[in-house]
Structure formats: C-alpha cells, structure tokens
A = this chain, B = another copy of it.
Amino acid sequence: MQPTNYQQLTRTFTRLARFGHLSAIAGWDMYTMMPPGGSQARSEALAELSVLQHQILTDQQVGDWLEEAEQEPLDCLQRANLREMRRHYQQAAILPAELVEAKSLAGSRCEHAWRSQRPANDWQGFAPNLQEVVRLSREEAAIRADTLGCSRYDALLDIYEPEMTSARLDTLFADLQSWLPQLLQQALEKQAQHPPVAPQGPFPVEQQRALGLEVMTLLGFDFEGGRLDVSAHPFCGGVPEDVRITTRYSEDDLFSALLGVIHETGHARYEQGLPREWSGQPVQLARSTAIHESQSLFFEMQLARSTPFLKQLRPRVLNHVADRPAFNEANFIAWNQRVKPGLIRIDADEVSYPAHIILRYQIERALIDGNIEVADIPELWDQKMQSWLGLSTRDNYRDGCMQDIHWTDGGFGYFPTYTLGAMYAAQLFQAARKALPTLESDIAEGSLNALFDWLRQNIWQHGSRFTTGQLIRNASGEDLNPAHFRHHLETRYL
C-alpha cells in the first residue's frame, strides 16, 4: 500500500529526530567531556550533520507532502503535528543557503573573538564583528518578515516564541515598568532592615554534587533517563529519553550551583514529561522557549525559593555540608530570597531580572528594525541601566553590553522569553495553588508529587499539541496576565 503524504512526513521527521539525537549528544559531549584537541573535528562533524538535516527538511518533496497532506483525513493530533511540521519546514526553507552559511560563519567569528574581547573590555574590536552579524540578521529578518507579513523583529521573535509580537511585548513590559521599579525599591528598603549574611565557603565540590543529586531526586528527576554533569555554561541538553543537565561549581558559593541545578531540573522534567508516544514528531517537542523557561523558573523561583521549600531544603543541605552561622533558618531563607540589583543578568534576582530583559529587548528591536546602529548600543545601555537600576556601565562594556553570548551569533529575539517565562511561571503556580488546596503544606512536608502531576497534566504531556495561548488558557483559565507575576513578587518581597 502506498504511504499517505502524512505518513511520508512522519517518516521524514522521525529520521530528522534521530539525527537530532546524535547532534544533541555530540553537542552535550562537546561542552562536558571533549578534550580541546577534538574541537576542530567535532565542529566539522556537527556542521556536516546540520547540512544534512537542512537538506532533508527543505527538500521540495517535503513541501509537496505538506500541501497534499492538508487534504488527507487526519485526526486532531495529526493536524497539530502537521501544523508544527509546516512551521519547521517554513522556518528552514525560507532562507537561501548562502545566507545561512554567511550568518553561521559571521556568528562563529564574532562569538569566538568575543571570548577574549569581553574579558579585555574591547568594544572597538567587538563592534565591527557584531555589525556584520546584525547586517546578516537584518537580512534574515527581512526575508522572514516578508513571508510572515510582520515586522522584521517580530519575524525573529517568532523563531523562539510563535504567536508573540512586539506590540504585545510592549503592553506586557509597560505593565511591568509601571510597578516594578517601585517594588524593587521597597524590597530593597525592607531588606536593608535585616540584611542577610552570606554563607562562607569553602564548599567542597563533591559535597555540592551529592547535594544536587539528592535535590534532583526530591524534584523527581528520572535518573534512568538523564544525568548531571559539569560545563562552563550550565544548560539542559540531550533528548527526552536521555536528558543531560549541567551545572558549574564554585567552592565559595553553595547556592549558585544548587539553584542552578534546580533550574535545569525544571527544564529536564519538562523534557522527560513530553509525550513519549509521539516520539520523533514535531508535536512531541516543547511548546516554546518561554514555556520551557516557565518550567525552569517554576522549579527555581516559584517552588525552590519559596519559604516552605527552603525550610525543607535546609536540613538536606546540612546532610552534605558542615553547618555555618549563616545557615540558621531565618538567614537561610532570607539569603535565598534576597534582592541585589547588579550589572550582570545571569546573577540577577527575580525582581531586578526583568530590567535586564526589557533593556535588551528595546535595544535589539531597534537594532533589527534599523532604528539604531551597533555604535549606539553602549550609550543606550548605560542610560537604561542608570534609569532602571541606578548603575553605570560607562566604559564598562565587559559588564555591560558585551556580557551575553546571545547577540554574538545572531540570537536576536530570544531575550524576551526569559521574562515571559517568569510571568508564565507565576501564572501557572497560581493556577496550581487553586487546583491543589493543600499545596503549601504539601511543599512544607516535601510531598511534591501532586504538584508535578499537575504540571504533567497541564503542560508536559501536551508537547506542542496546542498553541501557547491555548495551552496557557487550558492550564490557568486565562491568557498571559502579568498580574500574577506582580502578586508573586509583592507577596514574597514586600
């Protein structure tokens, strides 16, 4: 019997997922295990594979099957899968191969140089490389915008966050801007009355690792289908059947690695909870970048930094590391709920984090839409940091506009998903609280299964079956609403 067009597509996407598996594991290995001498050969091998994946996905036949499959009798789930297939195909097939290659080369060059330019505070060296990346990203954005019928920036945003637009981001972020600066100020004033004390190291790495593994177990990480390792920049990688999370340890700082592990465990449980029966199909995949981030922030910010969880966590910490005065319960909690505005995004607390994101969003949008040039970035960055957090980055590029890797290889449109994720996380936690009346006391007792079941039923098991809007409405009864994030911050910090 002749396979249907839809069947042809599912076979092709299964094949792509298998190659994606090898790419994910070789990528994980590159950041966790590979000795430096393997670097050149690995890059070549991964580039060869990505050329192959691109060829398979953008084959004219895939386009034909997509058209024909529309006419075939499909159930609801197959339609959702077809919608996601079309999305993947269009995203890949729109761009001319020369542009993809030019952007990849310019991105690698800029990112590679940035690794030494950032510590050297070398803006003059960095700017021309970034300008070239911006030039090619604008070209990409123009092509995508033409097809999608939207603004250039929105066309890049769509890669990470389908359905999201800058008009909507402007509304959401304007809401935050109307109350967040004052909330931050009040939180700082309250905290100044009893400043938390920093726990003093050293905290041996082996103890930190054992503690991290125990907490991952508490959080339901499935070690039959995943691992914890070390990398310079923590991430969650691998495949749903074999999720690889990483952290990095500092002997001076116990909580940086631990909360990092909890954050990545949130990403990991989403991956581990994706619907296994649709394995290899686009509809199995995580819904979007912001929904992925909502799961990690649900674990880290909503759950782990809550007072009842921190009370649970403290004796577990003391099972692994020697007691310190700073580990008394009140300080243990206050230290993990402290507010500390600073220059560096990845070190920011959840109250000051949105400032870092809105600043980057405004700059990258103006950059892609052609309203500013790379040369304008440092001045704008300094102005916005001054106005949001009262901090100067004048002549300090290293801790200012050169601190992130995202722009170096053209990842414009990604930053907003961090704060969208924080808002989704607050909204979902609020919905879980309504659904689970004993949630607070469950957390205080370390009984987390009902909460995880709620996440599984409402988020994880759906993969990409629903659009983001449908998913969040089904789970919480309403569209994305920043009031929940505000309520969460007010409750915790005021």
Interface residues of A (CB under 8 A from B): 15, 18-19, 21-23, 25-26, 29, 33-38, 40-42, 44-46, 48-49, 52, 222-227, 238-239, 241-242, 279
Chain B residue nearest in CB terms to A240:
B41
- B residues less than 8 Å from A19 (CB atoms): 45, 48-49
A38 touches B239 (CB 8 A): yes
The 8 Å CB contact of A223, one of B35, B45, B226, is: B35
Q: Which of B45, B222, B226 is within 8 Å of A22, CB to CB?
A: B45
Across the interface, A225 reaches (CB within 8 A) one of B37, B44, B225, B242, namely B37
For the complex formed, measure the closest distance between the CB of A69 and the CB atoms of chain B, giving whole angstroms.
Answer: 22
Question: Which of A18, A41, A46, A52 is packed against the most chain B CB atoms within 10 Å?
Answer: A41
- Can you sample 27 A-B contacts with CB below 8 Å? A15-B48, A18-B44, A19-B45, A19-B49, A21-B41, A21-B42, A21-B45, A22-B22, A22-B23, A22-B26, A22-B49, A25-B25, A25-B26, A29-B29, A33-B33, A33-B227, A35-B223, A35-B226, A35-B227, A35-B242, A37-B226, A38-B225, A38-B241, A38-B242, A41-B239, A41-B242, A52-B52
Contact (Cβ within 8 A) A222 B37: yes
A206 to chain B: closest CB distance in Å? Answer: 10
How far, in angstroms, from A19 to B51 measured CA to CA in the complex? 12
Interface of A is mostly: helix
For A15, the chain B residues whose CB sits under 8 A away are 48
What are the 5 tightest A-B residue pairs by CB atom distance, in nearest-first order?
Answer: A38-B242, A37-B225, A18-B48, A21-B45, A41-B241
CB–CB B239/A37 < 8 A:
no
Q: Which residues of B contact A227 (CB under 8 A)?
A: 33, 35
Closest to A40 in B: B241
CA distance A15 to B35 in the complex (A): 22
Knowing A37-B225, A48-B18, A225-B37 touch, does A242 contact B42 (C-beta < 8 A)? yes
Bound-state CA distance A222–B223 (Å) is 32
Which residue of B is nearest A29, CB measured?
B25
CA–CA, A44 and B238, complex, Å: 15
Contacts of A21 on B, CB cut-off 8 Å?
A: 41-42, 44-45
CB <8 Å contact, B33 and A279: no
B279, A35: Cβ atoms under 8 Å?
no
Question: What is the chain B residue whose CB lies nearest that of A239?
Answer: B41
Closest residue of chain B to A244, judged by CB?
B33
In Å, the complex CA distance between A26 and B18 comes to 12
Instruction: Give the complex CA separation of A29 and B33 in angstroms.
Output: 10
A41, B478: Cα distance in complex, Å = 37
CB distance from A283 to the nearest CB of B (A): 17
Contact with A279, one of B41, B49, B223, B224 (Cβ below 8 angstroms): B41
Q: How near does chain B come to A275, taking the closest CB pair, in angstroms? A: 14
A-B contacts besides A25-B26, A38-B238, 12 pairs, CB < 8 Å = A18-B48, A18-B49, A19-B48, A22-B22, A29-B29, A34-B242, A35-B225, A35-B226, A37-B224, A38-B225, A40-B241, A41-B279
Could you tell me the distance between the alpha carbons of A173 and B295 in the complex, rounded to whole angstroms?
63
Nearest residue in B to A226 (C-beta to C-beta)?
A: B35
Q: How distant is the Cα of A134 from the Cα of B41 in the complex, in angstroms? A: 36
* B25/A224 in contact, CB under 8 A: no
Closest to A47 in B: B18
Q: Which residue of B lies closest to A242 (CB)?
A: B38
Q: Which residues of B contact A41 (CB under 8 A)?
A: 18, 21, 239, 241-242, 279
Q: How many Å lie between the Cα of A447 and that of B232 in the bound state?
A: 37
